[in-house]
């Protein structure tokens, strides 16, 4: 008999939604342990990795222009001219630090409790138009591309690591893959709601 899944709870209960996705992907405590171990290897690379991500986003005017928009969390001096915006601009240094902390947290988190799931959900929500004054409102295509690019950079770190044997590389790659599909779901769930609100 097929396992019953309550559609209403998938869309209203973050824990229920995560449990369904995690079970579907076979994301377990073993994967979390692998991510925790990988964080120690990835940590020296994260600052450079983050800068590479933003350099990629700066390659396209459609993604670079989002960094000109107001971010109500950022209180520093804001560059409003796209041509003058660089990775050393105050608002970009702020964003670099923010994503660095985010990456460290998702890899370092030992227990995926409700507070952490809410954090993952909030990260997704604020990139839509649903978070009020804190909304960044980025089209989902760019989020999807960035998550894919970010995952590829982690894969490169894993494959080139001399600290991991082949078996651990394989299981870590699988854990990273599950992590990004779970985070992607916490983005897409809010974009689906936002698209319904627009109609």
Which of these, 55, 43, 21, lies nearest to 146 by C-alpha position? 55
Assign a CATH topology to domain 34-189: Globin-like (1.10.490)
The residue ranges of every structural domain in the chain are: 34-189
pLDDT tens, position by position, 126-140:
877 655 555 677 888
d(CA 21, CA 194): 21
pLDDT of residue 13: 93
The model carries a pTM of 0.87
* Closest listed residue to residue 83, CA positions, set 67, 95, 97: 67
Give dist(CA 140, CA 131) in Å, integer.
Answer: 15
Per residue of the chain (199 residues), give pLDDT as tens. 888 999 999 988 999 999 999 999 999 999 999 999 999 999 999 989 999 999 999 999 998 888 877 565 656 667 766 777 888 888 888 888 888 999 999 999 999 999 999 999 988 888 776 555 556 778 889 889 999 999 999 999 999 999 999 999 999 999 999 999 999 998 887 766 666 555 4
Q: How many residues does the chain have?
A: 199
């Amino acid at each position: 008999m097929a396992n019953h899944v309550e559609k209403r709870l998938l869309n209203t209960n973050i824990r229920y939604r995560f449990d369904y996705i995690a079970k579907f992907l076979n994301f377990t405590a073993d994967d979390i342990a692998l991510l925790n171990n990988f964080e120690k290897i990835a940590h020296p690379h994260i600052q450079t990795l983050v800068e590479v991500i933003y350099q990629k986003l700066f390659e396209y005017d459609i993604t670079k222009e989002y960094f000109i928009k107001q971010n109500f969390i950022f209180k520093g001096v804001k560059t409003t001219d796209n041509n003058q915006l660089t990775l050393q601009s105050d608002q970009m240094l702020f964003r670099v630090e923010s994503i660095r902390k985010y990456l460290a947290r998702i890899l370092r988190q030992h227990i995926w409790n409700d507070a952490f799931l809410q954090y993952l959900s909030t990260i997704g929500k604020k990139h839509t138009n649903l978070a009020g004054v804190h909304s960044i409102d980025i089209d989902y295509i760019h989020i999807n591309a960035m998550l894919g690019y970010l995952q590829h950079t982690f894969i490169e770190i894993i494959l080139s690591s001399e600290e991991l044997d082949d078996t651990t590389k394989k299981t870590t790659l699988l854990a990273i893959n599950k992590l990004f599909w779970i985070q992607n779901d916490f983005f897409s769930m809010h974009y689906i709601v936002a698209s319904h609100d627009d109609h």
